[in-house]
Amino acid sequence: MDKVFVKGLRTDAYIGVYEWEHEQPQPLLFDLTMAWDQTAAAASDDLQHALDYDALSKAVIKLVEARPRQLIETVAEEVAELILTDFKVSRVTVCVSKPKAVPAADTVGVEITRGKN
């Protein structure tokens, strides 16, 4: 299956279980990989038949910045659900990185893959 991807999509979010994390936003980075058949987009050269990574990126940022959450697992599931539902994608992998979470590590995060039944 063909894929459309977005790497290193940055948002600033109220995210975390600790008190200080509720008081200031911190960066979350998303790597998103969507299954998408490119045939119609390539044949027509028309964005209407493509998975619009610009619109998708904006929708993800809007969702993530809309409200505070405790766990990055929750964010990952909500982002996957948005992409599957609003962008008619059949399968998506969402990787969420939280670079400020563990000072001794470059970054930490979770990765999930979800599909429509």
> Looking at the annotation, which residues are catalytic?
98
Q: Which is nearer to ligand LV4SOB2L, 1 or 17 (CB)?
A: 17
Q: Which stretch binds ligand LV4SOB2L (CB under 6 A): 5-13, 38-46, 70-78, 84-92?
A: 70-78
Residue 73 interacts with ligand LV4SOB2L (CB under 6 A)? yes
Residue 17 interacts with ligand LV4SOB2L (CB under 6 A)? yes
Residue 29 interacts with ligand LV4SOB2L (CB under 6 A)? no
Residue 56 interacts with ligand LV4SOB2L (CB under 6 A)? no
Helix H, strand E, coil C: the string for the chain is CCEEEEEEEEEEECECCCHHHHHCCEEEEEEEEEECCCHHHHHHCCHHHCCCHHHHHHHHHHHHHCCCECCHHHHHHHHHHHHHHHCCCCEEEEEEECCCCCCCCCCCEEEEEEECC
Residue 101 interacts with ligand LV4SOB2L (CB under 6 A)? yes
Name which of 42, 28, 62 is nearest 4 in CA terms: 42
Q: Which residues of this chain interact with ligand LV4SOB2L, rule CB under 6 A? A: 16-18, 21, 71-73, 98, 101
